[in-house]
Amino acid sequence: MDAVYQRCINPACAATCGVDATSFVCPQCGGLLDVAYDWDRLPPPKSLREFEAKWADRANPLSFSGVWRFRELLPFAEPEHILTIGEGQTILQRADGVAGYVGMNAGCLFLQYEGMNPSGSFKDNGMTAAFTHARMVGARRAACASTGNTSASLAVFCSASGLMRAIVFIGSGKISYGKLAQALDHGALTVQIAGDFDDAMQRVQQVAQRLGIYLVNSVNPFRLEGQKTIMYRVLEALRWEPPDWVVVPGGNLGNVSAFGKAFIELADLGLLKRLPRLAVINAAGANTLYQLYEKLGLRWNGGSPEGSISEGYYHQMDAERLRAATIASAIEINRPVNLPKALRALERCGGVVREVTDQEILDAKAKVGAGGLGCEPASAASVAGARKLRREGVIAPTDRTVCILTGHQLKDPTATVAYHSADQKTFDEVLGSRGVKRASFANRAVQVANDLDEIMKAIEVYA
């Protein structure tokens, strides 16, 4: 067998296929695949500190990239195949102001700001890995369904590299303007489906299979290899001392799956002494994982999650015509494709799942903004979720907690401006319709006549 291959995540099946396969479903049981490594033939570093030496080699694009400087932990490609656009230059910021809001002690809350990526979201971590694999297999066209960030990332990578033509499937009227603007400006063929993300996801899988188009959604296990590095950077920023908690918004559940794989592999390799706990935060209007995990008790169960629980849940969802609905459009998803992998991660990492309302999301977002980093609504779900877990006593005020800010504030200016707007009509249209009642932390613009004295008076009054 090769040192790198793809393997079914179900231990009872464990069917394998070659690293070059692009169907991204188990050839035997149709389940999800992992990228698997024979570590004896691909020696990983002896200590995580070895990665610090890469900082001295930043003229080399593979050491500059925040993904590929950890390439010994995702060794599926030869260096000449690696396609990088400088992704992963992101920071872990200690956020004492936000800690106060969440109810944590100073010095205990950190924000991992993935909005700093070239396309403005964490997706670039995965996209560079998917593009590297696409280059290995000679793909010419790539497609995804998206709530906006995967499509933006795909479009950026296609336009920056010229490697493939981008085809993006989006739900009609379902993505924010910042993200739609990116797909259009970077030249992606943008297919607006009369439906939502869950519809688009089903269609893109059918189309990719029929037309032989390379699929870059997170069912592609190579994407998740890249997203593991978000956790390596968190560990590095904490001097390799694992945090107590990692809190992440949940949509299609690629991130939580990747984070779990990263930690499990490090632990199995003897490089990590303790696994952080994982908390996944759903929007209340798109809360499938919360319902299945916390209410119906669905578990990984050694690789055989009770299928009837999720089937029954989806059946009921269809019967009631329940559709995902939240201001956090990035996570407006009811059928997460990585559900089994997420369950596996939750099991090994002592996971919990919570749901937060749009009101809680927007208030948390305003606090994140006031604390110095700008994020989009979905990202703020992590902070709102940490606050909830803190209030429940699940997270202690002294627990070192990392919230992942998955996407940049400018992705969705509509939600931000409506929250801070003094105009009730704008507020009602964008937010009131979603059950948001008040903007407790609004920073309203001051209206003033075009008159020097009036302007100065206003400044003296307000600042």
Footprint of ligand F0G (CB under 6 A): 121, 146-150, 218, 249-255, 330-331, 376, 378-379, 406-407
Nearer to ligand F0G, 54 or 407 (CB): 407
CB of 170 to ligand F0G, least distance (A): 8
- Please state the closest distance from residue 408 (CB atom) to ligand F0G, in A: 9
User: Rg (Cα) of the chain, in Å, rounded?
Assistant: 22
Closest CB 254 distance from ligand F0G, rounded Å? 3
Give me the least distance between CB of 336 and ligand F0G, in Å please. Answer: 7
| Closest separation in Å from C-beta 331 to ligand F0G | 5
What DSSP string runs through 400-446?
-EEEEE-BBGGG-HHHHHHHH-S-HHHHHHHTGGGT----TT--PPP
Q: Strand order in 4-8's β-sheet?
A: 16-18, 4-8, 33-37
- Closer by beta carbon to ligand F0G, 16 or else 379: 379
Tell me the HSE value of 21 on the side-chain side, using a 13 A CA sphere: 19
Q: For ligand F0G, which is the closer residue by CB, 148 or 305? A: 148
Contacts 24+ apart (CB under 8 A), 50-58: 51/232, 51/236, 52/236
Residue closer to ligand F0G (CB basis): 153 or 421: 153
The CB-of-1 to ligand F0G minimum distance in angstroms stands at: 30
Closest to ligand F0G by CB, 288 vs 421, is 288
- What tokens appear for 61 in the block? 């694009």
* CB-based contact 15:1 (threshold 8 Å): no
Residue (136 or 204) nearer to ligand F0G, CB: 204
**Helices of type H across 167-306:** 177-185, 197-211, 221-237, 254-268, 288-290
Query: Which structure tokens are listed for 86?
Result: 């400088």
CB-CB contact of 224 with 218 (8 Å) = yes
Closest separation in Å from C-beta 407 to ligand F0G: 3
* CB of 121 or CB of 132, closer to ligand F0G: 121
